[in-house]
């Protein structure tokens, strides 16, 4: 992780066109911050820490002295960014990075998050998943791998990074389950897998892929490239290319997670079970998917096959008027 951190920092500094390291922070202080993020804040070294670095570098480029800033100074800076068209979401990311830095520096103030207008969740339907799969019908290793990836994401709701970190030893063929390690919240969880996804002969199953099509450039990881383990950014590019070919430009790896969650809830799986499968730390996050299937619930309650407890009695149904009733 130390090598990864150093490499990330060099790249980010180069992109921001500033010095080798932060202008006002020496290398040793920055290394201490990295270690603090890993040990005290338990941040992910592959995604969260590099993203925090990027935000802090951007803030320093904007003129914020990370060794000496006040709340008032930051809020004034946020106000200027809002006037220039920045979103509350973008400012929340900056505030989160500053809060992590404050925790490291021992500052006793914390920046509050802005309330964001939530965008409607876009969930692919089964036909759109089929269109994606149709783009991977080739008989080569790449298409076979990509087809298996899409199906596994759609069936399990795994996160992008979780799929890339999946190891051969994480698949329990006898118990029909996959163990997810080093997840977003550093917890281990179990995801059950159906026989077709595991063993299907004419299906893009894990057994078929691993036995016949997997590139053996890594002894540990399930999904590989010519250079070894598949990286999360590489997977994002793959899904983007496939979705563009299918004419569904908005689909990304996390879209399959939405698809899996709504599918489970539509099938009547208990929301607590769905929470465990997806690895949500809060059931409120899982509850967001209930809004997506709200139309399904309205259709279900009006289903003529649902038994009426008063069906033995005869009642006349009054047609609803367009105008409201007067009380």
- 207 counts as catalytic: no
Q: pLDDT value at position 300?
A: 61
164 in a domain, yes or no? yes
Q: Does residue 244 have a pLDDT over 70? A: yes
- 36 counts as catalytic: no
322 in a domain, yes or no? no
Closest CA to 80 of 69, 67, 64, 102: 64
142, 273: one domain? yes
Q: pLDDT value at position 49?
A: 86
The whole domain housing 181 covers 126-297
15, 86: one domain? yes
Give the number of domains in the chain: 2
Q: Does residue 207 have a pLDDT over 90? A: yes
Q: Does residue 287 have a pLDDT over 60? A: yes
314 in a domain, yes or no? no
Q: Does residue 8 have a pLDDT over 60? A: no
98, 199: one domain? no
181, 243: one domain? yes
Contact by Cβ (8 Å): 191, 178 = yes
92, 205: one domain? no
143, 235: one domain? yes
**CA–CA dist 228, 205 (Å, integer):** 21
Select from 40, 73, 105 the last residue of a domain: 105
Task: State whether residue 19 is helix, strand or coil.
Answer: coil
**CA–CA dist 143, 133 (Å, integer):** 9
Averaged pLDDT, 153-179: 95
Crossing angle (nearest 10°) for helices 48-61 and 27-39? 140
| Res. 292 pLDDT band, cuts 50 70 90 | confident
Q: pLDDT value at position 118?
A: 74
- 34 counts as catalytic: no
321 in a domain, yes or no? no
pLDDT (tens digit per residue) in 186-199: 788 999 999 999 99
| Res. 204 pLDDT band, cuts 50 70 90 | confident
- 289 counts as catalytic: yes
311 in a domain, yes or no? no
Q: pLDDT value at position 96?
A: 94
- 298 counts as catalytic: no
Contact by Cβ (8 Å): 98, 77 = no
Select from 53, 73, 105 the last residue of a domain: 105
286, 163: one domain? yes
pLDDT, averaged across the chain: 83
Q: pLDDT value at position 1?
A: 47
- In CATH, what number is assigned to the domain containing residue 200? 1.10.443.10
- 311 counts as catalytic: no
Q: pLDDT value at position 228?
A: 92
269 in a domain, yes or no? yes
149, 277: one domain? yes
| Active-site entry in 131, 214, 257, 258 | 257
73, 194: one domain? no
pLDDT (tens digit per residue) in 49-105: 888 988 998 998 999 999 889 999 999 999 999 999 999 999 999 999 999 999 999
| Active-site entry in 159, 161, 214, 258 | 159
| Active-site entry in 36, 196, 254, 266 | 254
81, 185: one domain? no
99, 165: one domain? no
- Distance of alpha carbon 270 from its chain centroid, rounded? 22
| Active-site entry in 81, 93, 167, 184 | 184
Q: Does residue 17 have a pLDDT over 70? A: no
100 in a domain, yes or no? yes
User: pTM of the predicted model, to two decimals?
Assistant: 0.72
317 in a domain, yes or no? no
136, 59: one domain? no
């Amino acid at each position: 992780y130390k090598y990864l951190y150093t490499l990330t920092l060099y790249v980010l500094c180069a992109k921001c066109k500033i010095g080798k390291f932060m202008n006002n922070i020496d290398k040793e202080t920055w290394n201490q911050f990295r270690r603090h993020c890993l040990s005290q804040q338990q941040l992910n070294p592959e995604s969260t820490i590099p993203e925090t670095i990027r935000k802090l570098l951007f803030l320093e480029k904007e003129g914020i002295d990370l060794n000496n800033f006040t709340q008032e100074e930051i809020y004034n800076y946020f106000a200027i960014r809002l006037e220039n068209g920045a979103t509350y979401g973008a400012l929340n990311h900056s505030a989160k990075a500053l809060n992590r830095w404050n925790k490291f520096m021992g500052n006793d103030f914390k920046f509050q998050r802005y309330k964001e207008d939530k965008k409607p969740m876009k969930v692919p339907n089964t036909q759109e998943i089929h269109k994606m799969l149709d783009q991977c019908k080739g008989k080569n290793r790449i298409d076979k791998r990509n087809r298996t990836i899409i199906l596994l994401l759609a069936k399990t709701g795994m996160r992008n990074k979780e799929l890339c970190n999946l190891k051969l030893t994480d698949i329990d063929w006898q118990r029909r389950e996959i163990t997810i390690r080093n997840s977003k919240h550093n917890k281990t969880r179990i995801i059950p897998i159906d026989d077709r996804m595991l063993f299907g002969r004419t299906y893009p199953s894990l057994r078929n892929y691993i036995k016949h099509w997997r590139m053996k450039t890594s002894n540990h990881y399930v999904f590989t490239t010519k250079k070894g383990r598949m990286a999360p950014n590489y997977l994002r590019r793959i899904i983007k290319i496939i979705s563009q070919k299918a004419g569904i430009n908005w689909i990304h790896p996390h879209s399959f997670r939405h698809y899996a969650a709504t599918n489970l809830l539509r099938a009547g799986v208990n929301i607590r079970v769905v929470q465990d499968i997806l690895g949500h730390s809060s059931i409120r996050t899982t509850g967001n998917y209930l809004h997506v299937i709200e139309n399904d619930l309205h259709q279900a309650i009006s289903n003529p096959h649902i038994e009426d407890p008063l069906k033995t009695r005869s009642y006349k149904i009054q047609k609803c008027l367009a105008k409201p009733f007067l009380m």
